[in-house]
Amino acid sequence: MTTNAGQAATRSSVPRPLAHPWWQRLGAALVHLLTGLPLHLITFSVLLCLLTSAATLAVTAVLAVPFLMATYEVSDLFTRWQRWRFRRLLGVDIPAVAPVPRDGHWLHRAWAQTRTRNTWRQISYHVVAGLLVPLLALVVLTLWLLGPALAVIAVYAPTLPSSVAPHGASSIVAVSTIGIIMLLSAPWVTLFAVRVDTGMATALLAPSRSEELARRVATLSESRAAMIDAADAERRRIERDLHDGTQQRLVSLAMNLGMTRTMLIDVPAELREAIERAHDEAKLALSELRAVVRGLHPAILDDLGLDAALSGIAARSPVPVRLLVDLPRRPTRTVETVAYFVVSEALANVAKHAHAGRVDIIVECIEGGLLRIVVSDDGRGGADPNLGTGLRGLRQRIDSVDGTMTLDSPQGGPTILVADLPCA
């Protein structure tokens, strides 16, 4: 079942002309050239008139702008038609380029289109193809129409006027040979002409390689952001379920055990000690669960923002912390979450490994639309991201939002960690 589905998917991904026999591909190529002949001539003529008018009126820019805008609109219209022809007749899907924004004043739109490279790439195709494709189409038509006529010239040579009729058997054989050669070469020339047109259209009407790479990068960034948001939403759901469900049950259990301990007076010492141990274990489990909930996603981060959330983890840190947060506005939820966990994990690493007496944390917005986090301590230094999972996980978390991290930690200290996150 899987094999059949895979084969069907492979067949559907093959361009339509390649999936058809050669004579059908040849027929599609002929139709493409014949329909393209008038279309290219019309496109070339209209664009030439508009461009000539715009160039003539270039001295008065205001009068030239309407002709330029008309040129761009006509070019876009014929480009859409060409894409439709290639897709419909040849099965070649030429991706559309990113459109120029149409908001704002019409002069701004005209200037934006004039500065856009794709505008002139499309116009270049219509100008070059408007000259070359009709020429190739005429050559193909000549081969298909004149070739068969010359190949069978022996049949009707006696009926031709003496001024054009071949004289003698050798002349008739020579003309027939030329006709046969033309007829045999016609399919190959037809496919070659279509290949030339397809190559030009793909090169000039489709997005360039750099634009395609930029589009893929943007798509990957969007999908990665969606995955991060989905993971964050799942963490919020788990945090909410633990807070509203499990944590409340543990609170109730601890309270019941506490009341039971106070109510049971005349009981054996062993039973009282067992209840006290159970009460202590319930309180410890509740404390650990609260730490887990805070580690999943702190509610204070959503309610009061990064400053209040970081103040909370700074207050709980076993190492004294001096915190400075200077943010003119709240970052996006994703960046805010990453910033919180960067500081949280950095403080955890300092507490475990640095033997520091003080930690300084600065969180601020800098030029370029970046949120900068600086965590410095006066510990023993020697931190290496390649030797432990803590700093490596920190770098991965920063990379998830296209951030950068630098670490300066010489032996003997101090250690300075700088993380830049996009917040614009």
Amino acid found at 220: L
How would residue 21 be classed by pLDDT, with cut points 50, 70 and 90?
A: low
Give the least confident one: 293-297, 336-340, 357-361: 293-297
**Residue 132: pLDDT over 90:** yes
| pLDDT tens digits, one per residue of 238-288 | 666 555 566 666 667 667 777 776 776 666 777 777 777 777 777 777 676
Residues with Cβ within 8 Å of residue 131, at least 6 apart in sequence = 44
Whole-number pLDDT of residue 351: 84
Residues with Cβ within 8 Å of residue 365, at least 6 apart in sequence = 326, 327, 328, 371, 372, 423
How far apart, in whole angstroms, are the C-alpha atoms of residue 22 and residue 187? 10
Measured on CA atoms in the order 384, 389, 390, 393, is the torsion positive or negative?
positive
User: Both ends of the chain: CA-CA distance in Å?
Assistant: 49
- Contact yes or no for 45/74 (Cβ under 8 A): no
Total-model pTM = 0.52
**Token pair recorded at residue 11:** 């067949």
> What is the residue-averaged pLDDT of the chain?
78
The residue ranking higher by pLDDT, 383 or 146, is 146
Q: Which of 283, 121, 127, 117 is nearest to 202 (CA)?
A: 121
